[in-house]
Amino acid sequence: MKKRLYLIFLLFLFFNYSSSAQQNWGGGVDNDILHFGFKFQYVAAEFKILKSAEWRGPYIDQTDGTQMIPSQLKSLSSPVSQGFALGFVSDYKVAENANIRFTPGLVFSDISAVYEYDDPTYTVEKKVQATFVDLPLGIKLKSNRLNNYRAYLIAGAKYSMDIVSRKKKDDSSLIASEKYLKSVPNSLWYEAGLGLDIYFEWFKLSPEIKFSQTTKSVLFDKDRAINPYVTPIDKMFLRNLQFSLFFE
């Protein structure tokens, strides 16, 4: 009987120690007021295109009256493009279940618009090459921790700067049919998502999925009168879906 009681006591101590140890998993990151980390992101991006009233054309060069494209437009779309991002994490604890997060990163993503015309042999894809410096600021609302898991919601805004050089976007010497589709260099976004904190012995891993979209049109339309790829577009928003892995 004494041996059984002794064995039960040892098992109680073991499970109590294991439970206590698990609660400290994650390197104690949840106990810090301020902590840091890094992130990897997969980005699926596209344009949300709002067409102008006369989007089908014909498109007349307002400087000399010539027709810029030989056929009328049949469809205009933006396929989903893939990209990736790298960045850092700064996390400030404001309450037991709320943190403010600043997660700057460098995003590599090329977004395309496809122009299909009545002439089936004439299809044009215009690719907007972009490298963004992203500056997201969000609030993270967390559930109570259950063993080594904690779900959360996140929402906020970000400011993005396209750092591709102006020289690469200069099409002033090109004829109308070879003009570029361009976006403005700076934009403000709103974003929201959800994720899961997973606690390992020495760090915390957080897979997260988040949707983002620009608050205003990103279309650079100052050359609308001479650019047949800008003329059919009224507004153009940039949006993406991000799958992220945060290591903290």
CATH number at residue 56: 2.40.160.20
The pLDDT, as a whole number, for residue 12 is 38
Indicate if the pLDDT at residue 16 is higher than 60.
no
Averaged pLDDT, 120-135 = 90
The pLDDT, as a whole number, for residue 58 is 81
Is residue 190 within 8 A of residue 157, CB to CB? The reply is yes
Residue 5 inside a domain? The answer is no
Give the contacts of 123 (CB within 8 A, at least 6 positions apart).
114, 115, 116, 117
Indicate if the pLDDT at residue 92 is higher than 90.
yes
The pTM for the full model equals 0.83
Indicate if the pLDDT at residue 173 is higher than 70.
yes
> Range of 42's domain?
28-247
Lowest mean pLDDT among 12-16, 169-173, 182-186: 12-16
Burial status of residue 176 (CB atoms within 10 A of its CB: 0-12, 13-18, 19 or more): buried
Is residue 150 within 8 A of residue 197, CB to CB? The reply is yes
pLDDT single digits (tens) 199-227: 998 899 999 999 999 999 999 988 888 88
Averaged pLDDT, 185-194 = 96
The pLDDT, as a whole number, for residue 27 is 67
The angle formed by the CA atoms of residues 131, 209 and 128, to the nearest 5 degrees, is 25
Separation of alpha carbons 79 and 113, rounded Å: 7
The pLDDT, as a whole number, for residue 243 is 97
Residue 140 inside a domain? The answer is yes
Separation of alpha carbons 8 and 16, rounded Å: 12
Residue 74 inside a domain? The answer is yes
The pLDDT, as a whole number, for residue 26 is 65
Separation of alpha carbons 47 and 97, rounded Å: 35
The rounded mean pLDDT for the chain is 86
Residue 10 inside a domain? The answer is no
Averaged pLDDT, 33-58 = 93
Residue 229 inside a domain? The answer is yes
User: Could you say which DSSP state residue 97 is in?
Assistant: T
Q: What percent of the chain has pLDDT over 70?
A: 88
Please count the structural domains in the chain: 1
Residue 123 inside a domain? The answer is yes
Averaged pLDDT, 185-198 = 96
pLDDT band at 31 (very low <50, low <70, confident <90, very high): confident
The pLDDT, as a whole number, for residue 214 is 97
The pLDDT, as a whole number, for residue 21 is 45
The pLDDT, as a whole number, for residue 167 is 67
State residue 34 phi and psi, 5-degree precision: -135, 130
Q: What percent of the chain has pLDDT over 90?
A: 61
The pLDDT, as a whole number, for residue 13 is 38
23 versus 166: the higher-pLDDT residue is: 166
Residue 1 inside a domain? The answer is no
Averaged pLDDT, 22-29 = 66
Residue 2 inside a domain? The answer is no
